[in-house]
Amino acid sequence: MICVSIARSQHQAMIDTHRELVAQGARLVELRLDYLATAPDLKRLLADRPSPVIVCCRRKRDGGMWAGSEEERQMLLRAAIADEVEYVDLEEDIAHQIPRFGNTKRIISFHDFRKTPDDLQAIYDRMAQLDPDIIKIVTMANHPCDNFRILRLVASAKVPTIGFCMGEMGIPSRILTLKFGAPFTYAAFSEERILAPGQLSFRQMREIYHCERINRDTEVYGVIADPVGHSLSPLIHNAAFRRYDLNKVYVPIRVPREALRQFLEEAPAMGIKGLSVTIPHKEAVLEKLTMADSAVRGIGAANTLVFQDGEVYGYNTDYRAAMDCLHEALGIPTDQESPFAGKKALVLGAGGVGRAMVYGLVRRKAEVYVTDGDDAKARHLAEQFGCRALEWNRRYAVRPDILINGTPVGMHPNVDETPYDGRHLQAGMLVFDAVYNPENTLLIKQAREAGCKVITGVEMFVRQACLQFKLFTGLEGPAALMREVIKRAISPVKM
């Protein structure tokens, strides 16, 4: 279940928002009294309430907005209990001062906005002595494995416990606390009114992650990156899981470089079954693989991991998706020997996507040139695959039949940038831009105007996601659905 926190400055706005949320499917809300601009009128807020509520009045030191005295705050909490509110939230240090009364359930809460303490079990044990119906422990994640520590606590708790981490790094635990036994998790009533770092909105929790369907049997997948907030993979994979009615969830996981090794060691034990891998981890994950497909071995990068029976399998779906796109655009069968012989290809970017492109083009006998803003990186890649490197400022010295952008240049929000001046585009060239947000990058627009064939990043993104989905589930990825979801997400006009 999802508890939606309502923080409004006016009583009527709080009442109206409560009704709107229930109409949208909310079954429990938290009334944040500390956000009201005037003295809280509990009778008014609780009269004819359309759902059960938690009354919470948070002090500033606990991340709240309460400006009155502590005595007044505690009087409000006692009044809520006397008015038979369903739940009241009491911080650990005051719980002993406000005794149980009537049917109101006690949520005893602890917040640490700086870190996830080492002594989580001791904190829990201490709180369990305060007559709680529910224990709530919320901490700041400074390492992706902080999520695992707090979720293990939730899973082992004797008293029903809500535990999750704050911050971007803590987002997975906000979703997965339900899998590990929490009675509910929290969401903001609006994406524009986030009350704590890393908090998701009710709409996101329901429509993207389908949190109300999560239970102990839910299988976990995700994308690891740093940063990860821009990734659209959760949108399309969760939509695909829902299409097939699969008990699976896909979450964004921010993993800094220095945390990657420990994260991958702990991930399987926490129920993670598979991962998409993107910048900056595609090459670094190789050291943790126990098995890898031929593309991973050839390219030296993986974008998909599957954890199964103690093994870590690595795959590169970027490679196959990109090559399928090229074969289709050029009308060349995939089984043709040396299909790109006689064609000159220029690859912009020597990162993960560039490596996959160069590997595939060289194998298909194209004459390949690679260039990158880091000239040494381009030379190293060219030496690895037996092709030619160009200095970035000499990239127009070649007139390619196939131009591939594997750089992030042109990606939202820098939509007025292009890695290749449109004056050098020639009719008949095939231009492939791996950037998918926006789909119609400046490079793609100028290529169309010049009479080039084009392949957009959306097509490659959907194809590689379908391949990942099959590796995760054994089922064919719903390409049309994925394409619709991603186009809607990146559209400047939201439908």
Q: Which of 143, 282, 327, 343 is catalytic?
A: 282
Neighbours of 392 (CB within 10 A): 14
Q: Are 485 and 238 in contact (CB under 8 A)?
A: no
Alpha carbons within 13 angstroms on the beta-carbon side of residue 434 total 24
- The 8-class DSSP code of residue 200 comes to P
| Residue 282 known to be catalytic | yes
CA-derived radius of gyration, the chain: 26
Query: Backbone phi, then psi, for 362, in 5-degree steps?
Result: -65, -40
Token output for 407: 């750089």
Cα dihedral value 185, 189, 193, 199, nearest 10: 20
Q: Which residue, among 330, 355, 328, has the nearest Cα to 342 in the 3D structure?
A: 330
Alpha helices, DSSP H, located in 42-168: 42-46, 70-82, 120-127, 144-156
| Residue 105 known to be catalytic | no
Q: Are 265 and 278 in contact (CB under 8 A)?
A: no
Residue 95 three-state SS: helix
Token output for 61: 């030191």
Cα 128 to Cα 133, 211, 431, 476, distances in angstroms: 9, 27, 62, 47
Q: Are 202 and 26 in contact (CB under 8 A)?
A: yes
Q: Are 287 and 270 in contact (CB under 8 A)?
A: no
Q: Which of 293, 318, 372, 433 is catalytic?
A: 318
Cα dihedral value 297, 301, 306, 309, nearest 10: 40
Q: Which of 111, 179, 237, 327 is catalytic?
A: 111
| Residue 445 known to be catalytic | no
Q: Which residue, among 11, 58, 1, has the nearest Cα to 32 in the 3D structure?
A: 58
Neighbours of 40 (CB within 10 A): 24
Tell me whether residue 70 is exposed, middle or buried, using C-beta atoms within 10 angstroms of its C-beta: 0 to 12, 13 to 18, 19 or more.
exposed
- One-letter amino acid at 435 equals V
Residue 374 three-state SS: coil
Q: Which of 34, 89, 136, 143 is catalytic?
A: 136
Catalytic residue list: 111, 136, 282, 318
